[in-house]
Amino acid sequence: MSATTNHVLVLLVDDEPEVRLLASDSLEDAGFEVVEAADAKQALSVLAARPDVGVLFTDVNMPGPLDGLELADLVHRLWPTVQLVVTSGRAPDRSIPDDGRFIPKPYSQRSMTALIDEVSARKRSP
């Protein structure tokens, strides 16, 4: 099932506004609903307010007390139904929780939306 038919909400976390804008526009064009956050603190606020988040798409290197992998770990523990996709300019030095996926930067908008579509099709039980 594609995102256009199941209205998946993607939480997009990246501290670079231009990167967020490009990724958000591509995801919306592919049929996803997108909520943006500039860091882990904002992302956690969104998750607390939006139980309908289906996919977390986060950069690893961000300012603040949590990086993207730590955010993914926390999201996996607190919101186990949220699918995880992590991105960075270099391969992560530790694993992504559960069956989370990694996409290296720079990524094409097509490969990013295809990966988000793929993981959003998976369903998890809480």
| Cα distance between residue 88 and residue 65, in whole Å | 17
State pTM to two decimals: 0.93
Q: Where are the domains of the chain?
A: 39-90+97-107
List, for residues 39-82, the tens digit of each pLDDT value. 999 999 999 999 999 999 999 999 999 999 999 999 999 999 99
- C-beta neighbour count of 50 within 10 angstroms: 13
DSSP 8-class letter at 103 = E
What proportions of the chain, in percent to the nearest 5, are helix, strand and coil? 40, 20, 40
| Cα distance between residue 15 and residue 64, in whole Å | 10
Domain 39-90+97-107 bears CATH identifier 3.40.50.2300: yes
